[in-house]
Amino acid sequence: MEYITITTGFLIILAGLWAIMTRKNIIRIIIGFSLFDTGIHIVMVSMAYVKGGVAPILDKNELLTDTANKIVDPVPQALVLTAIVIGLGVTALMLAYAMKLHSEKKSLDIESFKDLKW
Amino acid sequence: MISPIHILTIGLGGAFALGFVPKKAKDAAAVIMLAAIALMGVLTGSWLIGLINGDSAQQVFTAGFKPPFSINLLMGLNEGALTTAVNFIGLLGGIYLYKYLKEAGNHAIMVFLIFIMGLNVVIMTRDIFNLFVFLEIVSIATAGLVILTETGKAVQAGFKYMLATGVISGVLLIGIIFAYYYSGTLNIDGLTQAHIGALRGGSVALLMIMVSILLELKTFPANGWGLDVYEGANAGIGAMLSAATATGMYYVLYKLLVMAGPEWNYWIALIGAVSFIGSNVLALKQRSAQRLLGYSSIGQIGLLMIILGFKDILGDNTPYVAFGILFSHYFAKAGLFWLAGIVKQSDIANWAVIRKKPYFLFLMGTFIFALIGFPPFPSFFAKWELVMELVNTGNLPWVVAILFGSMMEAVYLFRWFGYAIKGENENIEDFKIEWNKILPVGIVAIALYVTGYFTAQHTEAGAAINWIPLFFVAAIFILDFLPVFVKNTIAIIGMALYFYNIYPDLDNMRLVFEAIFMIGGILTLIAGYAYKGKRTGFYPVALLMYAGLTAIIEAQTTLQFFFGWELMTAGSYFLIIRGKRSMPHGLSYMLFSVGGAYALLIGLGMAFAGQDSLGMEIINTISYLPYWAYGLLIVGFLTKTAALGLHIWLPGAHGEAESDVSPMVSAILLKAGVFGIVLTLIGMGGESNSYPWLPYALGWLGAITAFSGNLMAVFQEDAKRLLAYSSIGQLGYIVLGMAMMTHLGWLGGFSYVVNHFLYKAVLFLTIGAVVLRVKTHNMYEMGGLIKRMPLAFIAVMIGIIALSGVPPLSGFAGKWLFYNAILEKGWYLQGAIMFFSGGIAFMYLWRLIHTVFLGQLKDNHRNVKEISIWFLIPIYLLLAGIMVYSVKPQWVLQPLGDMIAQWFPDGQLTWDGGTAFTKYGHWAGTAVAVTIIVAFLVVLALLLISTRKAHKVKQFDITYSGERPERPETTHVAYNVFEGLYKAMWIATIPLVETWWNKVTDFLHDTADIVRRIYNGNGQTYIIHIVLFIIVTYFVIIGG
Write the DSSP assignment of B312-339 as a string of letters.
Answer: HHHGGGHHHHHHHHHHHHHHHHHHHHHH
Distance from CA of B146 to the nearest CA of A (A): 10
**Cα–Cα distance list, B725 to B89, B563, B666, B792 (Å):** 49, 29, 10, 21
Q: Residue B899: its pLDDT value, please?
A: 94
Check: CB of residue B574 under 8 Å from CB of residue B372. Answer: no
For the cut 60, the answer to whether the pLDDT of residue B956 exceeds it is no
Q: Out of A42-51, B12-21, B897-906, pick the least confident.
A: A42-51
Range picked from B922-936, B939-953, B974-988 for highest mean pLDDT: B922-936
Is B812 domain-assigned? yes
Is B654 domain-assigned? yes
**Using CB atoms, which residue from A40, A96, A110 is nearest to B173?**
A40
Largest CA distance in chain A: 65
Q: B1023 and A21 in contact by Cβ < 8 A?
A: yes
**Using CB atoms, which residue from B186, B1018, B1027 is nearest to A110?**
B1018
For the cut 60, the answer to whether the pLDDT of residue B1040 exceeds it is no
**Using CB atoms, which residue from A40, A97, A113 is nearest to B174?**
A40
Which residues of chain B have a CB within 8 Å of the CB of A118? 285, 1012-1013, 1015-1017
Tell me, yes or no, if B180 comes closer than 8 A to chain A by beta carbon.
yes
Confidence tier at A48 by pLDDT (50, 70, 90): confident
What lies within 8 Å, CB to CB, of B858 at 6+ separation is B774, B781, B782, B783, B784
Dihedral sign, CA of B4, B7, B12, B14?
positive
Distance CA B567, CA A54 (A): 72
Tell me, yes or no, if B233 comes closer than 8 A to chain A by beta carbon.
no
Distance from CA of B452 to the nearest CA of A (A): 35
Confidence tier at B980 by pLDDT (50, 70, 90): confident
Q: Residue B72: its pLDDT value, please?
A: 86
Q: Residue B958: its pLDDT value, please?
A: 54
Which residues of chain A have a CB within 8 Å of the CB of B1007? none
For the cut 70, the answer to whether the pLDDT of residue B227 exceeds it is yes
For the cut 90, the answer to whether the pLDDT of residue B25 exceeds it is no
Is B229 domain-assigned? no
The mean per-residue pLDDT over the stretch B619-640 comes to 94
| Domain final residue pick, B921, B939, B957 | B939
For the cut 60, the answer to whether the pLDDT of residue B353 exceeds it is yes
Distance from CA of B160 to the nearest CA of A (A): 9
Is B780 domain-assigned? yes
Q: Residue A36: its pLDDT value, please?
A: 97
The mean per-residue pLDDT over the stretch B130-154 comes to 92
Which A residues in the span 45-64 are in contact with B, Cβ-Cβ below 8 Å? 47
Distance CA B517, CA B667 (A): 9
Distance from CA of A92 to the nearest CA of B (A): 10
Confidence tier at B587 by pLDDT (50, 70, 90): very high
Is B295 domain-assigned? no
Q: Residue B213: its pLDDT value, please?
A: 96
Q: Side chain identity at B448, as an amino acid letter?
A: L
Confidence tier at B966 by pLDDT (50, 70, 90): low
Q: Residue B728: its pLDDT value, please?
A: 95
Q: Which residue of A has its CA nearest to B167?
A: A33
Number of domains within chain B = 2
Phi, psi for residue A54 in degrees, rounded to 5: -115, 175
For the cut 70, the answer to whether the pLDDT of residue B954 exceeds it is no
**Using CB atoms, which residue from B129, B152, B158 is nearest to A79?**
B129
Is B352 domain-assigned? no
Q: A101 and B156 in contact by Cβ < 8 A?
A: yes
Check: CB of residue A21 under 8 Å from CB of residue B1024. Answer: yes
Q: Out of B765-769, B802-806, B929-933, B974-978, pick the least confident.
A: B974-978
Q: Residue B964: its pLDDT value, please?
A: 55
Distance from CA of B57 to the nearest CA of A (A): 28
Q: Tens digit of pLDDT for each residue in B567-579?
A: 999 999 999 999 8
A60-96 burial code (b ≥16 CB/10 A, e <16): eeeeeeeeeebbbbebbeebbeebeebbeebbebbeb
Question: pTM score, two decimals?
Answer: 0.93
A68 vs B585, higher pLDDT: B585
Q: B173 and A118 in contact by Cβ < 8 A?
A: no
The mean per-residue pLDDT over the stretch B926-934 comes to 89
Q: Tens digit of pLDDT for each residue in B657-669?
A: 999 999 999 999 9
Q: Residue B723: its pLDDT value, please?
A: 95
Distance CA B32, CA B102 (A): 12
Which B residues in the span 320-359 are in contact with A, Cβ-Cβ below 8 Å? none
Give the three-state DSSP class for B911.
strand
Q: Residue B968: its pLDDT value, please?
A: 62
Q: Residue B668: its pLDDT value, please?
A: 95
For the cut 70, the answer to whether the pLDDT of residue B199 exceeds it is yes
Q: Residue B628: its pLDDT value, please?
A: 94
| Domain final residue pick, B939, B964, B987 | B939
Tell me, yes or no, if A68 comes closer than 8 A to chain B by beta carbon.
no
Q: Tens digit of pLDDT for each residue in A2-22?
A: 788 899 999 999 999 999 999
The pLDDT > 70 percentage for chain B reads 98
Q: B166 and A90 in contact by Cβ < 8 A?
A: yes
The mean per-residue pLDDT over the stretch B996-1005 comes to 92
The pLDDT > 90 percentage for chain B reads 77
Q: Tens digit of pLDDT for each residue in B280-336?
A: 999 999 999 999 999 999 999 999 999 999 999 999 999 999 999 999 999 999 999
Confidence tier at A64 by pLDDT (50, 70, 90): confident
List the domain range (segments joined by +) for residue B49: 1-126
Check: CB of residue B646 under 8 Å from CB of residue B594. Answer: no
B515 vs A77, higher pLDDT: B515
Q: Residue B115: its pLDDT value, please?
A: 97
Which residues of chain A have a CB within 8 Å of the CB of B69? 75
Q: B178 and A21 in contact by Cβ < 8 A?
A: no
Tell me, yes or no, if A12 comes closer than 8 A to chain B by beta carbon.
no
Burial class of residue B426, CB neighbours in 10 A (0-12, 13-18, 19+)? exposed
Best B163, B282, B1005, B1022 residue to mutate vs chain A (most A CBs within 10 Å): B163
Complex-level ipTM: 0.96
Distance CA B715, CA B59 (A): 75
Q: A116 and B136 in contact by Cβ < 8 A?
A: no
Q: Out of B264-268, B829-833, B986-990, pick the least confident.
A: B986-990
Strand partners, A105: none
Q: A83 and B173 in contact by Cβ < 8 A?
A: yes
Q: A117 and B1023 in contact by Cβ < 8 A?
A: no
Distance CA B279, CA B283 (A): 6
For the cut 80, the answer to whether the pLDDT of residue B246 exceeds it is yes
Say how many CB pairs under 8 Å bridge A and B.
125
What lies within 8 Å, CB to CB, of B49 at 6+ separation is none
Q: A110 and B1019 in contact by Cβ < 8 A?
A: yes
The mean per-residue pLDDT over the stretch B742-763 comes to 95
B992 vs B165, higher pLDDT: B165
Q: Which residue of B has its CA nearest to A89?
A: B140
Which residues of chain B have a CB within 8 Å of the CB of A82? 129, 133
For the cut 60, the answer to whether the pLDDT of residue B122 exceeds it is yes
Distance from CA of A44 to the nearest CA of B (A): 6
The mean per-residue pLDDT over the stretch B355-363 comes to 92
**Using CB atoms, which residue from A33, A47, A116 is nearest to B181?**
A47
Angle (deg, nearest 10), helices B289-309 and B224-232? 130
Q: Tens digit of pLDDT for each residue in B845-871?
A: 999 998 899 888 888 888 999 999 999
Domains of chain A, each with CATH number or no CATH: 3-56+65-112 (1.10.287.3510)
Q: A116 and B163 in contact by Cβ < 8 A?
A: no
The mean per-residue pLDDT over the stretch B919-925 comes to 88
Q: B140 and A90 in contact by Cβ < 8 A?
A: yes
Confidence tier at B612 by pLDDT (50, 70, 90): confident
Best B173, B284, B290, B346 residue to mutate vs chain A (most A CBs within 10 Å): B173
Rounded to an integer, what is the distance from CA B772 to the centroid of its chain? 30
Is B864 domain-assigned? yes
Tell me, yes or no, if B166 comes closer than 8 A to chain A by beta carbon.
yes
Q: A101 and B155 in contact by Cβ < 8 A?
A: yes
Q: Tens digit of pLDDT for each residue in B1007-1027?
A: 999 999 999 999 999 999 999
Which B residues in the span 14-73 are in contact with A, Cβ-Cβ below 8 Å? 68-69
| Domain final residue pick, B74, B95, B126 | B126
